[in-house]
Chain A
Amino acid sequence: GQQVMQIPQYQHVQEGEDFTTYCNSSTTLSNIQWYKQRPGGHPVFLIQLVKSGEVKKQKRLTFQFGEAKKNSSLHITATQTTDVGTYFCAGHFGNEKLTFGTGTRLTIIP
């Protein structure tokens, strides 16, 4: 079936450093969503991108959807300890079910 890969699988950063996770698909996505799962918690919806080349910001978080709608990225500026968790992208291939990416686990070194 269709897959959505994320890199890196793990990322350790010093508090205050920036962080980026990338989401890649071999085929075009109709939209991309991002979720955050805190340690011991459940995935929580962050944002959805629909248009080719779309960029959205939420405070220190910047989300991008690629021009070809096959990739996406989440960039966090000046990480804080509250950013710890696993970040998932998830996308729809046409009218199919939502497919979750493999996730990037972010840990922050204080």
Chain B
Amino acid sequence: DTAVSQTPKYLVTQMGNDKSIKCEQNLGHDTMYWYKQDSKKFLKIMFSYNNKELIINETVPNRFSPKSPDKAHLNLHINSLELGDSAVYFCASSRGLGTGGGDTQYFGPGTRLTVL
């Protein structure tokens, strides 16, 4: 049983297209995240949702729009894809708010996005 799953695993698309990545967790966690990992392996948080409510929104272009239909799902839609969006996108979840309390995070397998 996969705890945090993402689809698709690979995504290759042309510049200017719109694409979505889906994430689901079956851990019963309240908080879900999107991270972007660039070619240098830096992990940058993008968004965080707690019980379907947006709680973290880092400085991310508004072409990126997260949606959480319920607390087990967090999707990421990207409009007008650019070359610089090429990266691995990780979904993660944690039991609590993920702030200060020492919550550990469980990561999905990642989606490798390549924009041509």
Interface residues of A (CB under 8 A from B): 30-31, 33, 37, 41-45, 48, 50, 86, 88, 92, 94-98, 100, 102-103, 105
CB distance from B53 to the nearest CB of A (A): 15
Interface residues of B (CB under 8 A from A): 41-45, 48, 56, 90, 98-110
Q: Which residue of B lies closest to A88 (CB)?
A: B43
Chain A residues within an 8 Å CB radius of B44: 100
Cα distance A44–B104 in the bound complex, in angstroms: 10
Once A and B bind, how many residue pairs between them come within 8 Å at the CB atom?
Answer: 55
Q: Are A42 and B100 in contact (CB under 8 A)?
A: no
Chain A residues within an 8 Å CB radius of B99: 92, 95-98
Q: Which of A43, A45, A97 contacts B98 (CB 8 A)?
A: A97
Q: Are B48 and A42 in contact (CB under 8 A)?
A: no
Q: Are A43 and B90 in contact (CB under 8 A)?
A: yes
Q: Are A103 and B42 in contact (CB under 8 A)?
A: yes
Which applies to chain A's interface (DSSP): helix, strand, loop or mixed?
A: strand
Q: Are B104 and A103 in contact (CB under 8 A)?
A: no
Q: Are A94 and B100 in contact (CB under 8 A)?
A: yes
Which among B99, B109, B110 has the highest number of chain A CB atoms within 10 Å? B99
Chain B residues within an 8 Å CB radius of A37: 41
Chain A residues within an 8 Å CB radius of B45: 97-98, 100
27 contacts between A and B (CB under 8 A): A31-B102, A42-B90, A42-B107, A42-B108, A42-B109, A43-B43, A43-B90, A44-B107, A45-B104, A45-B105, A48-B102, A48-B104, A88-B43, A92-B101, A94-B100, A95-B99, A95-B101, A96-B99, A96-B100, A97-B45, A97-B48, A97-B99, A98-B45, A98-B103, A100-B42, A100-B43, A105-B41
Q: Are A102 and B42 in contact (CB under 8 A)?
A: yes
Chain B residues within an 8 Å CB radius of A97: 45, 48, 56, 98-99
